[in-house]
Amino acid sequence: MTRQFPVGKVPAEWIEGLWRRHALDDPSVIIGPGVGLDVAVVDLGDVYLVAKTDPITFATDRIGWYAVHVCANDVACSGARPEWFLATLLLPEGQAGEAQVETIFDGIQQACSSIGASWVGGHTEVTRGIDRPIVIGSLFGRVAKDALVTSAGARAGDHLYLAGMIPIEATAILAHDFAERLADDFNPAFLERCRRLLFDPGISVLAPAQLALQSGGVHAMHDPTEGGLATGLWELAQASAVDLEVEAEAIPLLPEGRALCQHFGLDPLATIASGALLISLDPTAAPGLEELFERSQRHLQAIGRVVAGEGRVYLTEAGSRRRLEPPPRDEIARLFA
């Protein structure tokens, strides 16, 4: 009997084994598939092409807008500027209509305009076997060869920062998709504020990534998404083959996110966390980075350090140190299962 997977990402260690069986043989591919490597990078001669793809299955009324920003975040973490977007729209049989498609198209166009990218095409169809719209986005950008940043670049001795707070995305999803279950315990104004987190401060990390690059000392960037900060940290450690030492008390938790996660019994460190950005930085550039973020009035917090190791994450809390493992699936996935 073959192994069955639960809702959420297929286990990284299993997927990694498949990639080893299908190894690339193309010298123009600078970065191919790998754990914690969220973009592909291809040598075009004078510049690198950065490519990203991701499906969106949550937040159906803003799904087009979501698809653009989630892809743009990973492109931005490479140091590239998002330029060209493609979208495949899969719509459920018996539910798809003109208004729904127009809403998704409008969201894609609005998001592309907000980041300066062009929506250059894709595919739209009504298909059997799904109960909600799905958008698979692909985004491409270019970066100078000497300006490429990857999640594999963290070095022992680096300072580890988190721009933004967690879990912004999870908080907005919980308030949006489970409003009826929350109505008896939280007032409408609170829930509306949680839903607005999707836009303010928002799930985009394009601006903080570009700001961080101005410091001149960024060795790696990574945005924690599915699986939350715990998975994001683990992916960064795995990709860079280093260990991360993280202080639990330094992690900036949204009060609203803490409250909603507590209500559902979810670990806020393991819930989907777009809107935050992990930065591994040369310590000599730390004062400049902090000054840049302070001037721009963006939240930035030092949460730990990078040390030599083998891809592990350690969390120090209340004087005790423990290994922080990635969750088997995102905490929110339990509510949708």
Q: Which CATH number fits domain 159-336: 3.40.50.300, 2.115.10.20, 3.90.650.10, 3.30.1330.10?
A: 3.90.650.10
> 85-106: per-residue pLDDT in tens?
999 999 999 888 899 999 999 9
Nearest to 39 by CA among 204, 233, 235, 234: 235
Mean pLDDT of 151-175: 96
Please state whether the predicted TM-score (pTM) of the whole model is above 0.75. Answer: yes
**Torsion angle, CA of 286/228/74/245, rounded to 10 degrees?**
30
* pLDDT at residue 18 greater than cutoff 90: no
Say whether 261 sits in a helix, a strand or coil: helix
Dump pLDDT digits (tens) for 206-247: 999 999 999 999 999 999 999 999 999 999 999 999 999 999
Tokens of 34: 């790998």
Answer left, alpha or beta for residue 164, where phi above 0 means left and psi between -120 and 50 means alpha: left
Tell whether domain 12-147 is in CATH 3.30.1330.10. yes
* C-alpha dihedral sign at 6, 9, 14, 18: positive
Q: Is the Cα dihedral 100, 133, 190, 179 positive or negative?
A: positive
CA distances from 333 to 38, 202, 252, 336, 337 (A): 21, 21, 23, 5, 6
Q: What pLDDT, in 10s, does the model give residues 287-306?
A: 999 999 999 999 999 999 99
- Per-residue pLDDT band for 59 (boundaries 50, 70, 90) equals low
Domain boundaries of the chain, sorted by first residue: 12-147, 159-336
308-324 confidence digits (pLDDT tens): 999 999 999 988 999 99
